[in-house]
Amino acid sequence: MEILELSWLAWVVTSVVTCWLLPGRWRPWGIAAFALAFLAVTDPPSALILATMAAITWWAGARDDRRHPGIAAAVVLLLGVLAVFKAAASQAGGFAMPLGMSYYTFRCVHYALERFKKNLPPHTAAEFLAYLFFLPTLIAGPIHRFPEFHRDLRRTRLDGGLLSEGFERVLYGYAKILVVSGWMIQSQLQPWIAGLAPSQPWLSTYLYMLSAGFTGYLTFAGYSDVAIGFARLTGFRVIENFNNPFASRNIIEFWRRWHISLTSWVRDYLYTTVFSLTRKPYFAALAAMLVIGLWHEISSRYVIWGLAHGLAVACCQWYQRRNAARADATTGGRGMLGAVAGWFVTFHFVMLSFMLVMHDFDRTMDIYRTLLTGGR
């Protein structure tokens, strides 16, 4: 099931209309019931698994006794279940993951931890269920947070501006996926690049790398736009997921602009914890990026990808610290040239790393070899 499928579109449009027709006190139940019905019809095992995880999350967060091991056990259980499914799905001939489980699990952990820390506003079980079973963001994120969702749920009223923004985002999302990524790049540009391959192998490989990277970005950003757009049509402002990531001048900035809902989750619940326990920022960065890699897929290529980005982030942290120390003695920045060089290195590092996760190991090495030596 994907956002591009007509059946998902039919479900989510019906859900938006129904939510506005329901009286305010029934809206949370309506939102949750619609998403559960969607899961039950399209993929019943997913409905069962996600409902069980919701029950565990509610139970764990509701414990008042701070010494009770329930919260730690629940977080380990939720993440363990996700890891088991991801490991099984990555095996050859493995089964499909439950719909939206990667996003859903991180929402559950966020909710359980914040409720345990008493950081959440007073709310009902229906509002909790509406947060977890929110159809626009259920299958492809973003990993939005409970307090913002709850605020919008309580004060939502029909707002022409929000509806217009929502419609525009949905349209731009589908345009990114189908027009720019699907038609312009994949159907028109890439066959043209293939025509260059016999005479100019280096150029064709380089252009292929850029086109594949942009295809991946536009497709994922398009999914996020569609989800954010439908959320707005339902009356909710959920977190943005991308902010011109390819304009980043260093790898830390890139990760502040790319898949923002995931990176902010990892920063809040993993990086901060590891850093406060070890006082080693480089180690925390490495751990955070490794987890981001494994969150995508439990496989050797994503381990290498995560470690490569972790090392790059650690190097960038070291460089920034060193420069900050020097800046005390010398004034002035690196200027325009430094910014352009930073952008160039970051952009190409990201594109090269995309090749690693988009292809098997042999093809990735083939691409790297061609880019280094100039011939295929």
Partner 1 sequence: MYGWLSPRIGHRAAVAVTALWYGLLLVLVMLLATEPPADFRYDDL
Quote the distance between the C-alpha of residue 168 and its chain's center.
21
DSSP string of 10-29, one letter each residue:
HHHHHHHHHHHHS-GGGHHH
Q: Does 168 bind partner 1 (CB under 8 A)?
A: yes
Q: Does 284 bind partner 1 (CB under 8 A)?
A: no
Q: For the chain, what is the radius of gyration of the CA atoms?
A: 22
Other Cβ atoms within 10 Å of 333 Cβ, number: 9
Q: Smaller CB distance to partner 1: residue 154 or 363? A: 363
Q: Smaller CB distance to partner 1: residue 1 or 130? A: 1
User: Which residue in the set 317, 357, 359, 368 belongs to the binding site for partner 1 (CB under 8 A)?
Assistant: 359
| Residues whose CB is less than 8 angstroms from the CB of residue 68 and which lie 6 or more positions away in sequence, other chains included | none
Q: Which stretch binds partner 1 (CB under 8 A): 78-86, 142-150, 236-244, 362-370?
A: 362-370
- Size of residue set near partner 1 by CB under 8 A: 28
Span 178-217, contacts to partner 1 by CB under 8 A: 178-179, 182-183, 186-187, 190-191, 193-194, 197, 204-205, 208, 212
Q: Smaller CB distance to partner 1: residue 204 or 241? A: 204
Q: Which stretch binds partner 1 (CB under 8 A): 38-46, 114-122, 170-178, 296-304?
A: 170-178
Q: How far is the CB of 242 from partner 1 (least distance, A)?
A: 19
Q: Which stretch binds partner 1 (CB under 8 A): 163-171, 273-281, 306-314, 345-353?
A: 163-171
Q: Does 301 bind partner 1 (CB under 8 A)?
A: no
Residue with tokens 């381990």: 303
Distance CA 98, CA 111 (A): 20
Identity of the amino acid at 125 = A
Q: Smaller CB distance to partner 1: residue 222 or 310? A: 222
User: Which residue in the set 84, 96, 125, 171 belongs to the binding site for partner 1 (CB under 8 A)?
Assistant: 171
Identity of the amino acid at 147 = P
Q: Burial code of 245-259, b = ≥16 C-beta within 10 A, e = fewer?
A: bbebbbbbbbbebbb
Smallest CA-to-CA distance from 222 within 253, 265, 179, 268 is with 179
Q: Could you report how far apart the first and last alpha carbons of the chain are, in Å?
A: 37
Q: Which stretch binds partner 1 (CB under 8 A): 64-72, 264-272, 343-351, 363-371?
A: 363-371
User: Which residue in the set 68, 151, 154, 363 belongs to the binding site for partner 1 (CB under 8 A)?
Assistant: 363
Rounded-to-5 percentages of helix, strand, coil across the chain: 80, 0, 20
Distance CA 176, CA 215 (A): 9
Q: Site residues (CB under 8 A) for partner 1?
A: 4, 164, 167-168, 171-172, 174-175, 178-179, 182-183, 186-187, 190-191, 193-194, 197, 204-205, 208, 212, 359, 363, 366-367, 376
